[in-house]
């Protein structure tokens, strides 16, 4: 059912964040169509994703600067690789790309400056945005799932999240149907989805699944086993009596899958005990799942702490799930990781 949304709280931030994510998503899609070829894929050439990453970050940061000049940004990229003679070829590509996506022409210096607005340290007080211009770079290069993720954090808590998923099927039951989903949530107002690049009055609420028996649950995890332990997730699934295959998917599209009930549990299980999750990899997805009625924590059951800077240094891993299976999932995760959690 089409749904008209009341957007009083953070209304301007919501509208600007959606515009920024949509424009950056177009940048990524354009790069994919032009630069990701058979040759790129076979040579494992990562340059297209680099170009799109910088271009998308410049576009989002420039739009945020125009509307909220005082808000700092925690962004994944900085402009080091684009500077000087060595960076010229990449810089020229990024500047052209950005100028095809913004209304007012930007000089090379302005593009580099916009990218470097992402260097903020984060923290517990005041407002800041956090951006992952392309989350799931491996998925982007494979033509699979990736996401442009933007969130607003105020006094250490996520208040608004937008995730643009250019390759996610609009209807999960029609995997070969139309693609391109935008998910958005404002604290206290629920989570909504719409088609990417669609008018704002065509939003529908997202709700997590109502599954109550973990044996009926499905779970999703990273495609990359270096980002989340597939061995541990298989053990946890075994403990929960889950018989369905895991759904492997890159990027914060996994949070969107849980928020709209396509999967019941998202497991992100530490592979390397010293890795600190980055706030831009989780902020937007976290509020979207919460506002869709789900729960999110780290592997010990503690809430994700977005007030500690650029990383989630007080947390290890992530578990997101619908309300009906969250407690069972955490219990199984704790049991499976007991040894690792003690030594961490």
Catalytic residues: 53, 137
Q: In what order do the strands lie in the sheet with 294-297?
A: 247-248, 219-221, 265-268, 318-322, 294-297
Binding mask 191-230 for ligand AMP (x = CB under 6 A): -------------------------------x-x-xx---
Q: With H, G, I as helix, E, B as strand and everything else as coil, classify residue 323.
A: helix
Residues in Cβ contact with 87 at an 8 Å cutoff, skipping those fewer than 6 apart: 80, 81
271 near ligand AMP, judged by CB under 6 A: yes
135 near Mg ion, judged by CB under 5 A: yes
Residues in 100-139 at the binding interface with ligand AMP, rule: CB under 6 A: 135-136
Among Mg ion, ligand AMP, none, what binds residue 50 when CB lies within 5 to 8 Å by partner kind?
none
**What is the 3 state secondary structure string of 295-318?**
EEECCCCCCCCCCCCCECCCCCCE
The CA distance from 97 to 51, in Å, is 8
Binding mask 244-263 for ligand AMP (x = CB under 6 A): ------xx------------
Among ligand AMP, Mg ion, none, what binds residue 340 when CB lies within 5 to 8 Å by partner kind?
none
Asked if 60 and 150 touch (Cβ cutoff 8 Å), the reply is yes
* Rounded least distance, CB 37 to ligand AMP, Å: 22
Q: Select the residue interacting with ligand AMP from 195, 235, 278, 334 (CB under 6 A).
A: 278
For residue 182, what are the β-bridge partners? 164, 194
132 near Mg ion, judged by CB under 5 A: yes
Which lies closer to ligand AMP via its Cβ, residue 278 or residue 334? 278
Asked if 344 and 316 touch (Cβ cutoff 8 Å), the reply is yes
Q: Select the residue interacting with Mg ion from 281, 291, 299, 328 (CB under 5 A).
A: 281
How many chain residues interact with ligand AMP (CB under 6 A)? 13
Q: State residue 257 phi and psi, 5-degree precision.
A: -60, -40
| Binding positions for ligand AMP, rule: CB under 6 A | 135-136, 222, 224, 226-227, 250-251, 271-272, 275, 278, 281
């Amino acid at each position: 059912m089409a749904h008209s949304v009341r957007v009083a709280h953070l209304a301007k931030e919501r509208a600007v964040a959606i515009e920024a994510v949509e424009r950056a998503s177009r940048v990524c899609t354009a790069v994919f169509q032009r630069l990701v070829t058979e040759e790129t894929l076979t040579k494992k050439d990562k340059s297209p994703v680099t170009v799109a990453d910088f271009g998308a970050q410049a576009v989002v940061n420039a739009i945020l600067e125009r509307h909220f000049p005082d808000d700092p940004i925690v962004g994944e990229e900085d402009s080091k690789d684009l500077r000087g003679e060595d960076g010229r070829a990449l810089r020229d590509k990024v500047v052209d790309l950005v100028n095809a996506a913004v209304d007012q022409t930007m000089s090379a210096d302005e593009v580099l400056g916009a990218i470097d607005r992402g260097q903020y340290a984060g923290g517990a007080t005041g407002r800041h945005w956090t951006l992952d211009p392309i989350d799931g770079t491996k998925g982007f290069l494979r033509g699979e799932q990736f996401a442009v993720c933007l969130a607003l954090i105020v006094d250490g808590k996520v208040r608004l999240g937008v995730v643009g998923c250019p390759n996610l099927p609009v209807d999960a039951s029609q995997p070969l149907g139309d693609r391109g989903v935008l998910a958005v949530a404002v604290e206290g107002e629920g989570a909504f989805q719409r088609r990417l690049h669609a008018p704002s009055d065509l939003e529908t609420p997202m709700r997590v699944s109502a599954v109550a028996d973990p044996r009926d649950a499905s779970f999703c995890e990273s495609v990359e086993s270096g980002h989340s332990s597939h061995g541990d997730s298989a053990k946890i699934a075994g403990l929960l009596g889950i018989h369905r295959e895991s759904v492997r998917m890159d990027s914060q599209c996994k949070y969107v899958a849980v928020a709209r009930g396509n999967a019941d549990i998202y497991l992100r299980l530490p592979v390397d005990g010293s890795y600190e999750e980055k706030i831009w990899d989780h902020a937007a997805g976290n509020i979207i799942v919460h506002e869709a009625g789900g729960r999110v924590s780290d592997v010990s059951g503690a809430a994700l702490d977005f007030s500690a800077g650029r990383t989630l240094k007080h947390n290890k891993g992530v578990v997101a799930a619908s309300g009906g299976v969250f407690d069972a999932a955490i219990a199984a995760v704790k049991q499976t990781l007991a040894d690792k959690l003690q030594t961490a």
